[in-house]
Amino acid sequence: MGGGQGEPEYFDDRGGQPHPGRGQGGPQFGPGPYAAGPGQRQGGPVSDPYANSAGHTRSFTVPDPYAHAGGYGQDDGYDYSRPAPPSGPRLHWKDLLSGILLRPGATFWQMRDHSVWTTAVLVTFLYGLLAIFGLDQAREEVINATLSSAIPYVLSTGIAVVLAGLILGAVTHTLARQFGGDGAWAPTVGLSMLIMSLTDAPRLLVALFMGGTAPVVQVLGWVTWVAAGALFTMMVSRSHDLAWPRALGASAVQLVALLVLIKLGTL
């Protein structure tokens, strides 16, 4: 109480030395956690004295620029869950059929995201109606049968060929996905049905007149079978983004089935 005139004395935490009050030269404040910093007025917001000091480092949150939308990173505005856009516009059925035979690589790439059900089912059904006449025994049965029994026989054969094409195409698609492919189911199955029907058309036309067991027909069957294998491999490679050995492996079951059931005339 030695400040005189009843003035309070202020003590600091370093030596206990008193600081006079207003009666001894005005208020003086030692450094403390509530002292106003430079550029701040008394009574305003006070900065944290422990910020960025040793032992009291401030933490910062850094967004992840590589995070997908909906995660913890920044949203770049692109929806990664959305499928890629089609590789090209849908081809007219005439351009599709001619493209498979004349421009297979570009056609398969352009149609990899488009279903071709209407064209595939109609072409395969017509092929099935004529396929029965390419087999000697079946052709004799149809020719010797009455019209009322021959029509259901031919129609049922066409439907059976369509179902066989669907099953074999589904097997090819499943194997392609097992080998790491990323193609869609409908385009793969539809294009495989078209390849099966179009590549066997030359052999079938000759077999209608010469029979399925004629040597020329057998040789033509082997040639068209190799061509079908090349087209199947190219189609699966384009549709599923696979290397040609894996694409050929995915098409192996369908190729063997075509060779045994149709090409060699053992149906």
The domain ranges of the chain are 93-266
Residue type, 35: A
Give the per-residue pLDDT at 117.
95
Q: Where are the alpha helices (DSSP H) in 145-214?
A: 147-178, 185-210
Give the C-alpha separation, 216 to 151, whole Å: 29
Give the per-residue pLDDT at 69.
46
Give the per-residue pLDDT at 77.
46
Give the C-alpha separation, 123 to 114, whole Å: 17
Give the per-residue pLDDT at 81.
43
Give the per-residue pLDDT at 82.
46
| Whole-number Cα distances in Å, 235 to 75, 190, 211, 232, 265 | 37, 11, 31, 5, 26
> Along the 267 residues of the chain, how does pLDDT read in single tens digits?
444 555 555 555 555 555 554 444 455 555 554 444 454 445 455 555 555 555 555 555 555 555 444 444 444 443 434 444 456 788 999 999 999 999 999 999 999 999 999 999 999 999 999 888 877 787 888 888 888 888 998 999 999 999 999 999 999 999 999 999 999 999 999 999 999 999 999 999 998 888 778 889 888 989 999 999 999 999 999 999 999 999 999 999 999 998 887 766 544
Give the per-residue pLDDT at 46.
52
